[in-house]
Amino acid sequence: MVPNADDHVGYMRYALSLARQSPPKPTNYRVGAVLLDAKANTVLATGYTLECEGNTHAEQCCFIKLSEKYRLPEDRLADVLPMDTVLYTTVEPCSKRLSGHLPCVERILRLGTAIKTVYVGVQEPEKFVGENTGRKMLEDAGIMVVPVQGMEAEILEVATAGHIA
């Protein structure tokens, strides 16, 4: 059942169900993401860590799938995204990648004003790249970052599965 467009907890639960599909690894967070047309309450794309080929992040997988669907390079997706596109992600989008891939925050920013709101379950823990400045970068660009409260412990348990204590 698809949640109502204003059911942020429902969409975060959906994103968390996607994160659970990501294989546990000591070098990744298991993250789920949902790209939504909020006005039509239609899911545009979903993704989870390592879903697509390579060392892919959840948000990146959403964009890869949309690029394939529309046969457009990722940086042109703003041309086809609805005006009220929002992103739900269980862990805030990364601002730095150790793999050499483009960080997810930069992927969002290069879409201009296509995504106006990012709903986040938890801040990225500082384990791999230190402080994540993604929230500030998004907010400085006029993108609202909205915490979805109440699922933090569950999200972190899923995100860190496979990590060595």
Please report how the helices 152-159 and 8-19 are oriented relative to each other, as an axis angle in degrees rounded to 10: 20
Active site includes 59?
Answer: yes
DSSP characters for the chain? -PPPTT-HHHHHHHHHHHHTTSPP-TTS---EEEEEETTTTEEEEEEETT-STTT--HHHHHHHHHHHHHT--GGGGGGTS-TTEEEEEEEPPPS--SSSSPPHHHHHHTTTTSEEEEEEEEPPPSTTTSS--HHHHHHHTT-EEEE--S-HHHHHHHHTTT---
Q: Which of 59, 74, 126, 139 is catalytic?
A: 59
> CB–CB of 143/136 below 8 Å?
no
Look up residue 153 and give its two tokens.
């412990």
| Residues identified as active-site | 59
